[in-house]
Structures are given as structure tokens and as C-alpha cells.
Amino acid sequence: MYMPNFREIRFAEKKEEIFFKAAEIFAKKGYEKTTLEEIAAELKLTKGSLYHYFKGKEDILFQSFIKAHSLAVQVLSKIVERKDIPPKVKLCLAIKEHIKVLTTKFVYATLRQQELLLPAELRGEVRVERKKFQQMFVSIVHEGIEDGTFKPVNLKLVSFAILGATNWVARWYSPDGPFSPEKIGEAFADYLVGGLEK
């Protein structure tokens, strides 16, 4: 089994730090108004040293989108693979866990940026990652319809309606707001899954 060396670990840690700080500044000022100089200054780095980790500001945004979607995929895949829980419980868990991901500062700060600011080729790569998540989510709803737990609804329309409502949390959530991620997750799971039950 390969073990990363100290230099590789430090590189990964610094890259992570840049991700989080850039997302914070993007959320505050917007991607277009943020400069690489500002990101570097906040991290006490030179602009030139940022190029050791990223090709430029566009690359930071692109990799942030990929990282946010990959995190969501990683969490959902563990739920999808479980054979010990029925579809209703699985879907409730998927919604709750996805909301926990969406309400982490890095993820919601990233997802509030305009994906359209990226060139078409990079947007395509982001969509591929997002599609992995969507397909896994749809598979849970499909499982529930197949075993008779859920109504025989239009699979894609209903799955995307649930996903749309859930994903929108990233747009309005505030850590200073009255609702915790757990409270939001419970309310959404109750309401959205309840409408599918026979």
C-alpha cells in the first residue's frame, strides 16, 4: 500500500487551505470580483506561489466544484451500497446526509458561484461528476418503487424534484440562521419522502 511522503502531505494540506479560503472570499465578494492577489494575501502567500497549486483563479473554481460534487458522491455511495436498510430509510438518510454536505461552508460557498463562468469543457467535467450523484439518488427512488414502498410515480421527475428542493438549501442556508443542518434534514426528509409513500 502506497504511503504519501511528508512533501505530498504538506502539498495536499496547503491545497485544501487554499480551497477553503478561496471559497470563503468567492462567497463574500463573488468569483468575478475576487483576484488571485486577494486569495494569496489572505493566505500570506505570494501570487506566484499559488501557481504551484493551481493554474489560476478559474482552476480554483473548477476544482472546487469537482471537490464539492465528489464529496456528495462519496457520502451518498456509502448509503446506496447498504443492503441492511429499506428504501424509505435509505432515501431519508440520503436527504439528511446530503443536506449535511450542502451546509458545510466550503460546499455552499462553492455552489453559490456561477458554474457558467467556467468554459464549456470544464463545465462538462463538473456535470459528469454531478450526474454520478444524480444517478445514485434516482436508484434509491427506483428501488422503492420496484419493491412497492413508493407510489408508481414518474421516476425521473420525482427524483429531480426532491433533488432540486434539497440542493436549493445550499443557496439559502446560513450558519447563523435558526435551523441546524440536522433540523433542516429531518424536515425535508419527512416532507419529501412522505409524499412518495403509498
Q: Which domains are delineated in the chain? A: 6-194 (1.10.357.10)
Across 155-179, b (16+ Cβ under 10 Å) vs e yields beebbbebbeebbebbeebeeeeee
Per-residue pLDDT of the chain (198 residues; tens, 9 = 90+): 666 777 888 888 999 999 999 999 999 999 999 999 999 999 999 999 999 999 999 999 999 999 999 999 999 999 999 999 999 999 999 999 999 999 999 999 999 998 888 999 999 999 999 999 999 999 999 999 999 999 999 999 999 999 999 999 999 999 999 999 999 999 999 999 998 987
Tell me if the pTM is above 0.85: yes
Quote the DSSP letter at residue 43.
T
| Residue 178 amino acid letter | P
Cell 425521473, residue located = 156
